[in-house]
Structure 1
Amino acid sequence: MMKNGGLNFGKFSCLMLLISGMTLFGSCQDLEQAKEIFLSLSDIENLPESDTFPLVGTRWRLLGFGEEGSERIRIAEPSETDSQLWLEFFEDGTIEGRSSNNLLSGKFHNFSNNQFELLEFYVLSYALESGDGFYMTSSLKNADMGKVESKGLKIFYSENDRRHYMLFRHRHRR
């Protein structure tokens, strides 16, 4: 009798521990999702002289990720630092940049009107990414084109048969 009571108590304890763990795991996922911040494109200030704002010679910092046709973006993390998540385009057709923890490089072909085709993209170092660093690098690997628009630099890529973009804002010009 005692053995059965002990066994039932053990099963009950394991079940309660499992339920508590699942609840905690679910809560952590909810907190992670709750941290995502979305911003309407109408709340983003237009670039000064957006029709003539240069692609080349400007350091572009990643502001967020959007889906083509949507009027909002998800703000990229980390959002509080200028030393991460940036790209810079040069006259010779090369790109330099930084994700959260890695150096980036690439090549592009510049068309008129600040539009370009992304020809190649490389991650030059292999440190563990944080925030949206991994999402930025994987999106750039799937990117094919970009252009400077009134809200900033948009780099377009495909994911799950949908067109998405990364929106970059200028940080400084050389």
Structure 2
Amino acid sequence: MIRILGLIFVLLTAGCSTPGKPAFYYTWTQYKTGVEVMLVNEPQYKDGFDGILRLDDKGEYAVMAIYYGGDMSSHFGYVTKDSLESWITMYTGFLKWDPQNPAQPAKFTIPDNLSWTHKDYDVEYRFLNGKKLFVINKHSTGNWFVDFSELSMDEANVAKLTDVYIDLRQKLK
């Protein structure tokens, strides 16, 4: 019995010590991106949350994950090799967007291929308090105490995110 418990301990320790992996049984690796994601409906979290890139080890998909505590509270930008260019186009479109020109598209509907509900969500470009914001409306998702239904990023963070997704061109298969 002690040998079995010892073996389990070694397996858990070895798995949890893998860089970028939360445990040995996950099929993806996480990377810090430097992207700060803000919560539109929770201004008290003014420092934002880290956008963590979750990349499948086989290169089949990637997604941006937002953690609160130890749990993934929200996600966005689920991409495969086939859908990557549409996200890059949306990010670069935001960077080129002129809020004074109402003819430019500023709202998009994105299919959610990761959640168990597969509910579509909206992405929109907003101009608020003199700043351009890239807003992701997840329609009332979140946890008990913090509202993660609207995530936003400013221009600097969208530029970082664009670079992250451009780098995925070589990593996704």
Please confirm whether the aligned pair reaches a TM-score higher than 0.5, indicating the same fold. Answer: no
Which structure would you say has the larger RCO, counting Cα contacts within 8 Å and 6 or more residues apart? Answer: 1
Higher-Rg structure is: 1
Relative to the length of structure 1, the TM-score reads 0.37
Relative to the length of structure 2, the TM-score reads 0.37
Larger strand proportion of the pair: 1
